[in-house]
Structure 1
């Protein structure tokens, strides 16, 4: 039977699940939690999945707020994974303190993924394949514990979570309906300079020299390819007492060679320092067959799919997932766009536009799963 014959039943199931999808957006928004601390959010999502018949494993691969939920559909076929994210950006409030605020669309993103999972479960007997929902913490690269422990999708990929999944889809609210064909490399570089405090003009303090070099770096290097993430100075106040300079930089590039060249330039411009490097965030690896299936799902949902978008202008740790499984990063568009990482954006994602995006995400993902499960991208 053609997969299109199942579309109507599935879309009806999405309509029936819409109040629940809206409720999930509200719940994630109300429980804004930083990376690797998403206890309430992960618990809410896993409860929904378990109630729908999924087999759920929590706290997987050493990440307490990560989970994997699996459902066998009516007959054997392709295993399709959907990634949910649910951490909030580490925003700065008016007092300058770190505060979790859902201003990057993870409420609609999680609502859409779980909504697709619930609607697929409601019509499972007619469908083919296996659905795996992977809950990944720590999407936000700047959050304190992401910087300390690593990002959820990259860690999950490195630890084998996707090894038995045939195709993985990761949706996110965007400006257009598309599958992104490329993204940037990224690496975090951390410099440490240990020296002395001095109260004299004729004595060189290497930490202060490094601090002075930072302003030159910001002027000399393209801010689209290097972000000065944080800078700190700490030390005793007496002459010749110990002092430490620490700085974190995010370095971006389109190729690995370009990344290494840019990192070398950064090191040279800062001067003598002890450097540590994070694991690289890898670029998205495109899959034309998977992209075509997702495009067909957008069309079936009555949406206009953009088949030839520009490259994604930033890095995403979903790139690491795409290196171990066939994959697509799915943009679910809105004509007016989104004001990411702003108070206005938080209102958009929590409001009617965000909830509409969640329902559309559920529909497009589920229609994609139906096609992929039947081997449409084989």
Structure 2
């Protein structure tokens, strides 16, 4: 390992106390999507104190920020992404507390170690709100925030260490059924039960699942089902997520789910309203050049990759949209000591601040810093990453 990389790892390790403090503070905030005010300020202030130029309110979102540290003119521009939001009722059960701190500290370590040594390019740290609603990064893509970026990366906590774990494409639909109210005991024949429309939608989708590919996921909840039992519900609503391996598979599944919804409306004599969006999330394209660089970092750190297949137990994320416009990478870092913990559970939230969780976060800091540094040390890597991206 050369002297610059040794310096980089030394700077990363020196940030551990600050990283742990931020992790615990952000965990305590557990702010919901687009409300990550204290979390955003914690990360942005940390970067500002270390020489980054910080701009808040990016892409029309109060909690989004952009922090830049220029080494010199020219390329590359490497973005590290800070997720920030928590889950309702579960806190940081998706580990965005780990994500945000790891990216911010990796950027700070690289800025400190690279100052005076790296002659061109810039580090960009993006505070990306509302990942849980699939909103923040998708909006930032639409607003052109990633223009001029040559690579975007972050780590995500998991039970396993994966480099090229992808995500599924995702589309969200709200189905609202409208019927006619009446007394449920005295005059039920005069009513039209909107809740029956929702129930038949669930039954139709349950029957449909037998005929969908294994990589398609359809899951939903009832968000409104009536007011009291003695009134025939005149309005009922369900909210569904539809996921697929790629955009084409997703589009076909969404079409078939919509047909189930229309069939349920017809069968129950209800009127149906479908509300889409606001964003469809793309399946992630893992950039092979960035993945190779991250694997090199793991090798330098003496960390073996998990042998489990990376195409299992996948969710969706708005980083998929980022990966369609710039070369992107989102490896997994382990936050449990052998025991399996699953995202969106209380045990996962607890694991993020455990000793293993802190170790996983610091692994992310070191590996991200090394990977980003590779792009500055060898600018041809960015060219190769773009070539692979366009292939």
TM-score class, shorter-chain normalisation, is 0.7 to 0.9
Rounded Cα–Cα distance in structure 2 between residues aligned with 1:205 and 1:371: 64
Corresponding residue of 2:55 = 57
Judging changes above 3 Å, is the alpha-carbon distance between structure 1 residues 317 and 172 closer, same or farther for their aligned structure 2 residues?
Answer: same
Q: CA deviation at 1:360?
A: 0.8
Determine if the alignment matches structure 1 residue 120 to structure 2 residue 110. yes
Deviation sequence 1:263-296 (CA, Å, 0-9, x none) = 2322222323221211211011232112111111
Rounded Cα–Cα distance in structure 1 between residues aligned with 2:161 and 2:3: 23
Corresponding residue of 1:228 = 220
Rounded Cα–Cα distance in structure 2 between residues aligned with 1:113 and 1:72: 17
Q: Secondary structure at the match of 1:274?
A: strand
Q: CA deviation at 1:329?
A: 1.4
Q: Secondary structure at the match of 1:178?
A: coil
Determine if the alignment matches structure 1 residue 261 to structure 2 residue 252. yes
Q: CA deviation at 1:316?
A: 1.1
Contact 2:284-2:320 within 8 A present in 1 as well:
yes
Determine if the alignment matches structure 1 residue 108 to structure 2 residue 95. no
Contact 1:75-1:127 within 8 A present in 2 as well:
no
Corresponding residue of 1:296 = 296
Select the structure that is richer in strand.
Answer: 1
Rounded Cα–Cα distance in structure 1 between residues aligned with 2:225 and 2:208: 22
Q: Secondary structure at the match of 2:130?
A: coil
**TM-score of the aligned structures, taking structure 2 as reference length:** 0.85
Corresponding residue of 2:177 = 193
Deviation sequence 1:6-33 (CA, Å, 0-9, x none) = 1100011112111111111111111111
Determine if the alignment matches structure 1 residue 360 to structure 2 residue 351. no
- Using the TM superposition, name which of 6-15 and 102-111 deviates more: 102-111
Q: Secondary structure at the match of 1:126?
A: coil
**TM-score of the aligned structures, taking structure 1 as reference length:** 0.87
Q: CA deviation at 1:231?
A: 2.8
Rounded Cα–Cα distance in structure 1 between residues aligned with 2:221 and 2:309: 29
Rounded Cα–Cα distance in structure 1 between residues aligned with 2:55 and 2:229: 52
Rounded Cα–Cα distance in structure 2 between residues aligned with 1:111 and 1:168: 16
Contact 1:180-1:309 within 8 A present in 2 as well:
no
1:208-357 maps to which residues of 2 (within 5 A)? 208-217=195-204, 219-222=206-209, 225-234=217-226, 243-270=234-261, 271-272=264-265, 273-278=272-277, 279-305=279-305, 309-311=309-311, 313-334=314-335, 335-357=338-360
Rounded Cα–Cα distance in structure 1 between residues aligned with 2:382 and 2:307: 16
Q: CA deviation at 1:309?
A: 4.5
Root-mean-square deviation (CA), in Å?
2.5
Structure 2 gap segments, 5+ residues each: 211-215, 266-271, 384-391
Q: Secondary structure at the match of 1:35?
A: coil
Q: CA deviation at 1:59?
A: 0.9
Deviation sequence 1:81-111 (CA, Å, 0-9, x none) = 01011111112xxxxxxxx612221222222
Rounded Cα–Cα distance in structure 1 between residues aligned with 2:229 and 2:206: 30
Q: CA deviation at 1:114?
A: 1.4
- Using the TM superposition, name which of 307-316 and 362-371 deviates more: 307-316
Structure 1 gap segments, 5+ residues each: 92-99, 142-149
Rounded Cα–Cα distance in structure 2 between residues aligned with 1:368 and 1:307: 21
Q: Secondary structure at the match of 1:49?
A: helix
Corresponding residue of 1:67 = 65
Corresponding residue of 2:123 = 131
Q: 2:19 aligns with which of 13, 21, 29?
A: 21
Corresponding pairs, count: 359
Q: Secondary structure at the match of 1:348?
A: helix
Contact 1:299-1:305 within 8 A present in 2 as well:
no
Contact 1:74-1:125 within 8 A present in 2 as well:
no
Contact 1:229-1:250 within 8 A present in 2 as well:
no
Contact 1:57-1:68 within 8 A present in 2 as well:
yes
Deviation sequence 1:205-262 (CA, Å, 0-9, x none) = 151331331441453244961111343134699978x821221100011133322222
Q: Secondary structure at the match of 1:73?
A: strand
Judging changes above 3 Å, is the alpha-carbon distance between structure 1 residues 108 and 208 closer, same or farther for their aligned structure 2 residues?
Answer: closer
Contact 2:141-2:322 within 8 A present in 1 as well:
yes
Contact 1:81-1:165 within 8 A present in 2 as well:
yes
- Using the TM superposition, name which of 360-369 and 203-212 deviates more: 203-212
Deviation sequence 1:314-351 (CA, Å, 0-9, x none) = 21110000011111112113543433222222221122
